[in-house]
Amino acid sequence: MKLYYKSGACSLASHIILKEIGKDFEIENVDTAKQLTESGEDFSKINPKGYVPVLRLDDGQFLTEGTAVLQYLADQNPGAGLAPASGTLEHARLQEHLNFTSSELHKAFGPFFTPNTSHKEKQNAKENVGRKMDHFESVFSDERKYLLGDKFSIADAYFFVASSWTVPTGIGLDKWPKIAAFSRRVADRESVQDAMRAEGLLN
């Protein structure tokens, strides 16, 4: 298996989950602006949608969309306990968090990562991100450790990465102490440190 990634991007969530699973895999950095991979492959042929993450399966197929990659990895490795069984309410809760992270929180950061965004647009985006973060802060109001309770799941990996973008965008986590505590807890995991180190985000 090979994960095509960009340092610190949403692909870091898939990278963390691959580390949690603990089987062998390769990674390859992508310059999405040039649509070129580290080894010189034309990335637009790998993912015509132009973005990471992409998981290259052992039979050569490519799987795109972060939430699909995360769910596939969890389903293929049930022993790792990274997602509740399909058909259960807990599984639906997992999907609730994954979808909200993807379609609401992740997308809310869009204007910060788009060239020529005006100050006003960034201000609106900041408020929009804040509303999504308020929701997650309320999820942690019962002092749960992770989004689903006591157990780390694929949703935590994705939310950890998306909420980390509050730092480079200058939003910070001061307004959301429970998310800040969650973030520190997840950052302490060996899988997270290994993945971040491999992406050049930690020494």
Ligand X SMILES: N[C@@H](CCC(=O)N[C@@H](CS)C(=O)NCC(=O)O)C(=O)O
Is position 10 an interface residue for ligand X (rule: CB under 6 A)?
Answer: yes
Select the span of 2-10, 15-23, 86-94, 187-195 touching ligand X (CB under 6 A).
2-10
Paired sense of beta strands 2-5 and 36-37, if any: unpaired
Size of the site for ligand X (CB under 6 A): 11
Could you give the CA distance from residue 96 to residue 176 in angstroms, rounded to a whole number?
20
User: Distance between CA 57 and CA 178 in Å, rounded?
Assistant: 37
Kindly give the interhelix angle for 119-139 and 177-187, rounded to the nearest 10 degrees: 80
Which 13-32 positions form the footprint of ligand X (CB under 6 A)?
32
- Distance between CA atoms of residues 171 and 158, nearest Å: 18
Q: Which of residues 41-100 bind ligand X (CB under 6 A)?
A: 51-53, 65-66
Verify binding: residue 117, ligand X, rule CB under 6 A: no
Spatial distance between the Cα atoms of 1 and 19, rounded to a whole number of angstroms: 12
Q: How far is the CB of 171 from ligand X (least distance, A)?
A: 16
Pick between residue 82 and residue 108 the one whose CB is nearest to ligand X. 108
Q: Residues interacting with ligand X, by CB under 6 A?
A: 6, 9-10, 32-33, 51-53, 65-66, 102
